[in-house]
Homo-oligomer: A and B are copies of this chain.
Amino acid sequence: MAEQLLDKNLHEQMIRWRRDLHKHAESGFLEMRTASLVAAYLDSLGYGLSIAEEVMQAEARMGVPPQDILDAHYRWAEQNGADIDWLPKFKNGMTGIVATLKTNKPGPVLAYRFDMDALDIQEDMSAGHIPFEKGFTSLNEFKMHACGHDGHTSIGLGFAKTLIDNKEQLGGTIKLIFQPAEEGTRGAKSMVEAGVVDDVDFFIAMHLGIGVPSGEFVAGNSGFLATTKMDIAFKGTAAHAGGKPEEGRNALMAASSAVLGLYGIPRHSAGASRVNVGVLNAGTGRNIIPSLAELKLETRGETSEINDYIRSQAINVLEGAAKMYGVEVEVDIVGEAKSSMPSKELVETLARAAETSPLLKKTVEWSTDSAGSEDATYYMERVKELGGLATYCIVGSDLTAGHHNERFDFDENSMLAAVDVLYRSALSLSKA
């Protein structure tokens, strides 16, 4: 029979952590308070820490908030419980951490990824929403942990504590990657390009929920679509539409033509593809030819190749539409993720480890349900490219509302199950 491995007090601690993070929700590249507390705790446990520029390539970040927002949020973090010693190191959107545990015994290098960011969503403040009823809703307007990354961070910390407590059971090296800005698939690339998984033999990312109920576990999720997020600006010339129409260069016409062209990018025979222009804002006054049109768009593909095809066609469409109407176009890639297939051997090993957990009732090897996009795929592809194995697993958790919903909440019990299965995987893999 499966045996209980975890410290009995750990669960309560993880719930406290999670609720504190939920209350102090910080969105992508603003996880300054979060990172300062994570770093302080991991440091106190004895992990070797690499942070900020050491583990992130600044230029490879996508969709970084403007400097004034970075600065304002830093001041907010100072005044809202950040660890004052560590906080200054996480300025300017460099909020990544890699904590390394060297067992000083032979063995492979394992890496686990935990994402820390909240969403730009206004949390619901009404009866029935547990964070409201228990008093830990987000203090920040239009920031909310509506995807469960508060849980992921707590799991990371609980896992870190468990590893330290059981260090002598383990071999090899274990790296815990705390990543900013997974939402919008903006942060992983910068950590991968800084080389944080270049020495890794086994890589595991995990997510709570995603339609899997509490007590179940999926060892390999293969449904992620490759994606690219772009912010577009068409820049023309304003003119009085009645008086001098010929002097205008109409950014809205270019944008409109681009919209029709983008949705018209041909399907790909190798698999599903998507394109969407979710937002378009253009123009200032009824009688002025619009000189600026701004779009937010995304492409997706069942494989990275399909997404690359859609993306390159989209760039053609955007540049051509600008040319048609004599305007300029600026394309800013603000997020990107790949598709990635988990490694069969690692999925099987992980499933076997999960089956020993008393906290899980059911283990599934594979899920192919489409689960949107994930930038954990960057780590997975790099690890596999260099000869390692990688997977993306799901720890089931009953949800009160879907991910990204203003009333999202998860089953806090699933956090302990997550730590348990991760620890069992480490036991199993570190001695491989």
The chain A residues found within 8 Å of chain B, CB to CB, are 184, 225, 227, 229, 241-246, 248, 250, 252-253, 255-261, 263-264, 266-270, 272-290, 293, 296-298, 300, 309, 313, 316-317, 319-326, 370, 372-373
Contacts and interface: CB of A to CB of B under 8 A. Distances in A.
A286 B279 contact: yes
Contacts of A278: 241, 283-290
Given A280-B252, A370-B243, A264 B260 contact: yes
A246 B269 contact: yes
Contacts of A325: 261, 316-317, 320
Given A263-B253, A279-B283, A317 B309 contact: no
Contacts of A300: 242
Contacts of A252: 259, 277, 280
A339 to B, nearest CB: 13
Contacts of A281: 280-282
Nearest to A266: B245
A316 B281 CA distance: 24
A260 B256 CA distance: 7
Contact of A269 (B245, B270, B286): B245
B296 A257 contact: no
A274 B259 contact: no
A129 to B, nearest CB: 21
Contacts of A275: 241
A227 B241 CA distance: 12
Nearest to A373: B242
Task: Indicate the member of A273, A280, A319 with the most B CB atoms within 10 Å.
Answer: A280
A367 to B, nearest CB: 15
Given A246-B267, A256-B280, 6 more contacts: A184-B286, A241-B298, A246-B268, A250-B263, A316-B324, A316-B326
A209 to B, nearest CB: 15
A273 B269 CA distance: 10
A247 B372 CA distance: 17
B263 A229 contact: no
A322 B290 CA distance: 22
Given A252-B259, A316-B326, A272 B267 contact: yes
Nearest to A225: B242
Nearest to A298: B286
